[in-house]
Amino acid sequence: MRRRDERGSSLLMVLVVITVVALALSALLTRSDAAQKVTASLRQEAAAASTADGAMQAAINNLRNSSYNGEPGQRCFGLSDTLSLLAFDGLSPVAVKCQPDPKQVVVQCSGDTDCNRPENAILALSTIPGEAGISVSQPADATFRVHGKVFSNSSIDLTAGSLSASESLSARGICSVGVLAPLCGLAVAPQSAPAYQPAVGTVPAHRSLPACTTPNSVVSFIPGYYDDAEGLSTMMSGTSPCRHSTWWFKPGVYYFDFHNTSNPLLSGDNTWTVNSGTLVAGTPAGGSCVSPMAGTAPGVQFIFGGSSRLAVEGGQAEICGTYSASKPPVAVHGLTIGSETSTGEVLRPTAVSLLSKFGLSATPSRLSTVDGVAATWKSTTANDTAGLTLNGYNQAGTIPVGSVLESAELQITHRHSDPLTTDKLDLSLDVGPGAPLAVTATGRPGGSEYGVTTIPLDASRTGSLARALYGGAFTGATISLTAGLTATGDTEDIDAIRLELRYREPAFRAGSGCVVEGPYPTSGCALISGNVHVDGTVSAPEAALDLSIAGGSRPLVKAGVVIRALRVSITGSLSGVAIDLPDVSPGFTFGLHLSVYLCPGALVCLPSGRPALQAKIGLVDADPSSPDPGRRKVTVLGWWRPG
């Protein structure tokens, strides 16, 4: 048999080898092309990242050298919140969009006397025997937490649970069981109050109460001076026409110096009681007010004088202060200095009616000064009378609204010649609004010597004169005087008719009465009591603060308490910090979100789509209200590339 030819199988092997080699070469060529594409893509991504980084740095540098501080109407980059960088990488435009965050508080403390936060979260100054500087009543499983330092000139009392502070906790008196890590019974001198001043140096304008007509509405108050606690209490009672409303006190300074016990035109006592609704003081935000810790909106300062006080017995109160770079955001200020003074005025006529039996002898000059030169009239019949009408009595100028009349007298210097009789004086004083004041007075026995007849006016201090002074409507007076002589031929000489007023103008008054008495609560009264939250600092070194709350997570006071005595009652669970204090650490005036957009091949870059780079920064200024371009600092709070 002939053997099979093997040349065919050799050819097959050659073809297999060639195919394998070809496939290997193809794979190598494909991998090389992919590597080139990957390299090109990485180069593009690196270039894009570099462009985005450069654009972000350019935007930050632009802001560093600007005076932008986030005030209303401002834009991050001059006229726009978008920074357009044309051909930034040499070819394509780039855009950086800026979105402001809410402002943040900056704690400025260059020294103990130059700081915009108190040194202590709680500084209780009481040295009254038997009065605890700090007293807390709470459930047995509760912890009263304080963020900041605590110091009491006397004791710290705790009914149950525990009390802790994030910093030092010390007292000159004893501390109850449950006060954690305390230094108590210290033999040190009592601390004194920081010299915080009220936000204004003079009493603001007197305000009347707003209209109260509709339940569950918003009743708005404007900054100024309020002196009627009874009026406020009646408005905020559960039976008033505007019951259960929001009592909105617009941003600004309010002075509460109630005169209900000293001004007969008012009634009740000096306690302002809230029994319904919600009191919101400051810029409103969802049923509350904007905290000064945000630094974005103005708040209020409630100044209390005399024995004035606030009791929130129903509903609740939210009081927010105003951020400052140089002083604490004091929301409640209890005055420790100041007093009312009594002002006396001697007013004289400037015009006299010529239609009188006194004739030409009755002139303003003769009737205004005691000089022996008198207006003269002689009776022609028995029981004769002669009248005088005098105008003017306006030398006092403008008497401030809210002034309280103390006394008013008409001083008539006169004589008549008949020694056997006594003259008679009938007069009426008209100040414009309200009924004239009419008085009849027995004059003097006759003789050659001048004497003074004093006629009290508006003795009840509730008549037209008192109301005119209180309402700022007193611009002078008209006096109608009728002299009566019994005997024929008797001569009446009137040398002067002067109106003497004494009144008290509104003034800053130091706390007084029960507000400064103790030991609280056995005696005295609290400046503020009830369900009250204060977003700001409470500064009332001579008063007591008595807060009560069911529970929750919000601090009762958010920027420290300077008080004589602090008393807190908590019936439920209070999570978080009860009394807060901002940390002393560099902060940022406000935050900004920056987003970089790349637009390859476009003429103009619009900030839309997915950004190439994002960052969050904070700008730090020595004075947030007046940025210093080029000197401000930038804090990078975040830097990321969206996936």
Look at 211-220, 423-432, 582-591 and tell me which has the smallest mean pLDDT.
582-591
Angle, CA 529 vertex, CA 525 and CA 530 arms, to 5°: 145
% pLDDT > 70, the chain? 90
Please check the confidence at residue 7 and state whether its pLDDT lies above 70.
no
Please check the confidence at residue 1 and state whether its pLDDT lies above 50.
no
**Residues 562-604 pLDDT 10s:** 999 999 999 998 888 999 998 765 545 678 899 999 998 888 9
How far is it, in rounded angstroms, from Cα 606 to Cα 147? Answer: 46
Please check the confidence at residue 35 and state whether its pLDDT lies above 50.
no
Please check the confidence at residue 137 and state whether its pLDDT lies above 80.
yes
Task: Check residue 601 and give its pLDDT.
Answer: 84
Amino acid (one-letter) located at 614: Q
Q: Which candidate, 174, 126, 171, 255, places its Cα nearest to that of 517?
A: 126
625 DSSP β-pair partners: none
Please check the confidence at residue 497 and state whether its pLDDT lies above 50.
yes
Query: Which H or E element spans position 279?
Result: strand 278-281
Look at 395-399, 546-550, 636-640 and tell me which has the smallest mean pLDDT.
636-640
Strands 590-598 and 143-146: unpaired
Count CB neighbours of 535 within 10 A. 26
> Half-sphere exposure of residue 417, counting CA atoms within 13 Å on the CB side?
11
Q: Which candidate, 343, 376, 490, 471, places its Cα nearest to that of 422?
A: 490
Count CB neighbours of 449 within 10 A. 6
623 phi/psi in degrees, rounded to 5: -125, 105
> Taking the mean position of all CA atoms in its chain, how far away is CA 377?
62
639 vs 212, 517, 611, 612, 614, CA distance in Å?
53, 57, 12, 11, 6
**Rounded to 5, what percent of the chain is helix, strand, coil?**
15, 40, 50
How far is it, in rounded angstroms, from Cα 202 to Cα 508? Answer: 7
State the chain's mean pLDDT as an integer: 90
Residue, of 87 and 146, whose pLDDT is higher: 146
Count CB neighbours of 411 within 10 A. 15
% pLDDT > 90, the chain? 74
As given in the structure block, the two tokens for residue 414 are 């006169």
As given in the structure block, the two tokens for residue 481 are 């005087």
How far is it, in rounded angstroms, from Cα 76 to Cα 55? Answer: 15
Amino acid (one-letter) located at 183: L
175 DSSP β-pair partners: 156
Ordered DSSP codes for 154-204: S-EEESSSEEEESS-EEESS-B-TTB-S-B-S---PPP----PPPS-SS--
Please check the confidence at residue 202 and state whether its pLDDT lies above 90.
yes
Confidence band, pLDDT 50/70/90 cuts, at residue 111: low
SS (H, E, C) 60-114: HHHHHCCCCCCCCCCECEECECEEEECCCCCCCCEEEEEEEEEECCCCCEEECCE
How far is it, in rounded angstroms, from Cα 111 to Cα 113? Answer: 5
Please check the confidence at residue 12 and state whether its pLDDT lies above 50.
yes
Read off the pTM. 0.77
149 vs 120, 310, 559, 581, CA distance in Å?
5, 27, 12, 9
> Taking the mean position of all CA atoms in its chain, how far away is CA 145?
26
Task: Check residue 551 and give its pLDDT.
Answer: 87
Please check the confidence at residue 218 and state whether its pLDDT lies above 90.
yes
Task: Check residue 102 and give its pLDDT.
Answer: 61
Count CB neighbours of 578 within 10 A. 25
Angle, CA 404 vertex, CA 541 and CA 474 arms, to 5°: 140
Give pairs for 6-13: CB < 8 Å, separation 24+: none
Count CB neighbours of 106 within 10 A. 22
**Residues 290-304 pLDDT 10s:** 988 777 789 999 999
Confidence band, pLDDT 50/70/90 cuts, at residue 148: very high
Name the DSSP letter for residue 403: -
Task: Check residue 293 and give its pLDDT.
Answer: 78
Residue, of 110 and 88, whose pLDDT is higher: 88
Q: Indicate the SS3 state at residue 322.
A: coil
**Residues 161-183 pLDDT 10s:** 999 999 999 999 999 999 998 99
Please check the confidence at residue 389 and state whether its pLDDT lies above 50.
yes
351 phi/psi in degrees, rounded to 5: -150, 145
Please check the confidence at residue 305 and state whether its pLDDT lies above 60.
yes
* Mean pLDDT of the 268-288 span: 95
Please check the confidence at residue 38 and state whether its pLDDT lies above 50.
no
Task: Check residue 435 and give its pLDDT.
Answer: 94
The arrangement of secondary structure in 342-504, i.e. its CATH architecture, is: Sandwich (2.60)
Q: Indicate the SS3 state at residue 594.
A: strand
How far is it, in rounded angstroms, from Cα 490 to Cα 372? Answer: 18
Q: Which candidate, 629, 623, 605, places its Cα nearest to that of 63?
A: 629
As given in the structure block, the two tokens for residue 198 are 């009220």
Residues 474 and 431: beta-carbon distance below 8 Å: yes
Amino acid (one-letter) located at 252: G
Residue 37 burial by CB count (10 A; 0-12/13-18/19+): exposed, middle or buried?
exposed
Residues 406 and 377: beta-carbon distance below 8 Å: no
Residues 303 and 335: beta-carbon distance below 8 Å: yes
Instruction: Give 414's contacts (C-beta < 8 A, 6+ positions apart).
Output: 374, 423, 443, 444, 450, 451, 453, 483, 492, 493, 494, 495
